[in-house]
Chain A
């Protein structure tokens, strides 16, 4: 069974389009995240939700809008895509921090977004 899944795995689109990436976790975790990995492999957090509430918004352009319909899902919608948005986007989930030493983040397989 897949723990953290993302769709689609690959996304190729034109500049200016709007696209969404979906994430689901079946681990029963309360906390979910979006990370961006750029072409140099640098990983940076974008957003974090706890129990459907936005906790971290790491100065991401407001063209990016996360939505958490329930604890198991965290979607990412991107408006007016730009060339610089090309990257791999990872969803992750975890138990609350400090949970009996078992609060590591589990990552989805990533979505490779290419903006032409």
Chain B
């Protein structure tokens, strides 16, 4: 069965520290897609990144970086030099591709609450 595990329920860091959010997934599909979303205290869900299963290159976007390793079924997210504005719940998600290509189904992890203290 498809499953996403975010073992870290809450993480608290002090501003400027680096922090890594872990994500482990399970799937029987050979082709799949992984996502990270951010949910700040205001409640909206903000898309951060999408990664194909056949592209294991790491990605960096400013202070954010993602490490995708198929061998360990992990898709970890690192924030460098964290800031108070990074405080949010971060969700990792796996896309289940069925339904004749008509739609996606995102399977979310339980989220990690990141608190960045000033």
Chain A residues with a Cβ under 8 A of chain B: 31, 33, 35, 40-45, 48-51, 53, 55-56, 58, 88, 90, 92, 94, 96-98, 101, 103-110, 112
- The size class of the interface chain B forms with chain A is 20 to 34
- 8 Å CB contact of B50 from A43, A51, A101: A101
- 8 Å CB contact of B102 from A50, A104, A106, A108: A50
Whether B45 sits at the interface, judged by CB under 8 Å, is yes
- What number of A-B contacts does a CB cutoff of 8 Å give? 78
> Among B16-24, B67-75, B105-113, which stretch is in contact with chain A?
B105-113
- 15 CB contacts below 8 A, A to B, read A41-B39, A48-B105, A51-B102, A55-B99, A56-B103, A56-B105, A58-B105, A94-B103, A96-B102, A97-B102, A103-B33, A103-B50, A103-B104, A107-B37, A110-B44
New A-B contacts (12) at CB < 8 Å, excluding given A53-B102, A94-B104: A41-B89, A48-B99, A50-B99, A51-B102, A56-B103, A96-B103, A97-B102, A98-B97, A103-B33, A107-B37, A107-B45, A108-B44
Closest Cβ neighbor of A32 among chain B residues: B103
Structural contact, A97 and B43, CB atoms closer than 8 A:
no
Interface of chain B, main secondary structure: strand
